[in-house]
Amino acid sequence: MPWDPLGPEQRELRELVRTVAREVVAPRAAEIDASHTFPWDVVEAFREAGLFGLFFDEEDGGTGTGVLLSLVAIEEISRVCATSGLILAVQELGSLGLKLAGSAEQRAAWLPRLASGEVLAAYALTEAGSGSDSAAMRTTARADGDGWVLDGTKRFITNAGVAGLYTVFAKTDPEAGHRGISAFVVEADTPGFEVARLEEKLGITGSTTGELVFDGVRVGPDSLLGEVGEGFRLAMRILDRSRPGVAAQALGIAQGATDYALEYARTRETMGKPIAQHQLIAGKLADMETSTEAARGLLYRYGRMVDEGAHADELTKASAMAKLYCGDVAMQVAVDAVQVLGGYGYVREYPVERFMRDAKVCEIGEGTSEIQRIVIARQMLREIGA
């Protein structure tokens, strides 16, 4: 039997994910991409199969089957459709604030509904003027009676318009830099909250990416997540745990592109033999498979670290390395897959150009590849006490 990092129960659940990927998601992938429409039917299939539950503990309504399996689930879905894989990854991204800093009441109110997929979640950190430099945000939350009033605009927010719950970061003390930021959970139907527009994008076209406007949005005291002034630290702790979701999406894209290129190269003949037997193509296939497997090694290592109880401080570097490497590998492998298919790689009839367009965001979202390198180098210096 081939080596498998998953235990028997996890393998059974992976089989379930593979079935959903094969039977429901794969036949829809090209249409989701072409129509630029959020796939609610895929969400419904995930709900029915209980896939959102893979990201939650048993006491919160989930399966409690661990982080490694949750990453494998994103990978397996992204192998056929990165937009659909992202639905799972962003459910985790948008729920992590509650998991890490939510009060017992907040957790009880929201986590079971997120675990069932009844409510979709989003994470709103970025603004037009603050992406990599997220502490430069301008959205404010002003204390008002026992609650808060939010004003400002967020940009590039995944699940805009489809999420029922947004984790929002805002300045409660604009003079205090990153120590003046706090986190809130805001329901989509709160008066003053509006999705102003959705972006037209290069890839993951079925996923919504939008601008959120907060115009005097009044929320109660129960919407504050954690302590006042602790929002920036929470935002970074969330990213430590959510970046592997993007890495898993990237890994799925890389594997999907490799699988497709291999099958094509096996059957396409030039100069009297299958192109897979021409050494330059064989070498490309070998490099694609090797870098994809190396990326998997880094990502699964992260999953096992969490499941085996690694300290939170150790996750920062492991998570950034997985995101950086998987993202860069997905991009390179997808470009190579287009090359293996030649002219057929360049047309919409075949999925590899979609993989190539979808891969790019993995080097940008939740911290660019440059930012991952900064995070990794900073941790390296910390490790040697510098």
Ligand X SMILES: Cc1cc2nc3c(=O)[nH]c(=O)nc-3n(C[C@H](O)[C@H](O)[C@H](O)COP(=O)(O)OP(=O)(O)OC[C@H]3O[C@@H](n4cnc5c(N)ncnc54)[C@H](O)[C@@H]3O)c2cc1C
For this structure, is 194 an active site residue?
Answer: no
Q: Site residues for ligand X, window 201-240 (CB under 6 A)?
A: 201, 209
Is 45 a residue that touches ligand X (CB under 6 A)?
A: no
* Residue whose structure tokens are 């504050």: 224
Give the Cα separation of 112 and 61 in Å (integer).
5
Give the Cα separation of 383 and 368 in Å (integer).
23
Residues 344-371 as b or e (16 or more Cβ within 10 Å = b): ebeeeebbbbbbbbbbbbbbebbbbbeb
Cβ neighbours around 157 below 10 Å, total:
26
Q: What one-character DSSP code corresponds to residue 230?
A: -
Site string for ligand X, 157-196 (x = CB under 6 A): xx--------------------------------------
Q: Site residues for ligand X, window 118-137 (CB under 6 A)?
A: 123-126, 131-132
Q: Site residues for ligand X, window 350-369 (CB under 6 A)?
A: 361, 364-368
Of 154 and 284, which CB lies nearer to ligand X in the complex structure? 154
Least separation in angstroms between CB 210 and ligand X? 9
What is the distance between the terminal CA atoms of the chain, rounded to a whole angstrom? 46
Give kind and range of the element (H or E) at residue 369.
helix 369-383
Least separation in angstroms between CB 320 and ligand X? 13
Of 141 and 371, which CB lies nearer to ligand X in the complex structure? 371
Of 123 and 350, which CB lies nearer to ligand X in the complex structure? 123
Of 269 and 370, which CB lies nearer to ligand X in the complex structure? 370
Q: What one-character DSSP code corresponds to residue 157?
A: E
The token pair that represents 21 in the structure block: 């990927």
Give the Cα separation of 255 and 211 in Å (integer).
32
Of 69 and 371, which CB lies nearer to ligand X in the complex structure? 371
- Which residue, judged by CB position, is nearest to ligand X in the bound state? 131
Least separation in angstroms between CB 125 and ligand X? 3
Is 219 in contact with 229 (CB distance < 8 Å)?
no
Quick one: 221 exposed, middle or buried, by C-beta within 10 A (0-12, 13-18, 19+)? exposed
Catalytic residue among 363, 366, 370, 383: 366
Least separation in angstroms between CB 365 and ligand X? 4
**Total residues at the site for ligand X (CB under 6 A)?**
20
Q: Site residues for ligand X, window 141-160 (CB under 6 A)?
A: 156-158
Is 241 in contact with 315 (CB distance < 8 Å)?
yes
| Binding footprint of ligand X on the chain (CB under 6 A) | 123-126, 131-132, 156-158, 201, 209, 361, 364-368, 370-371, 374
Active site amino acids: 366
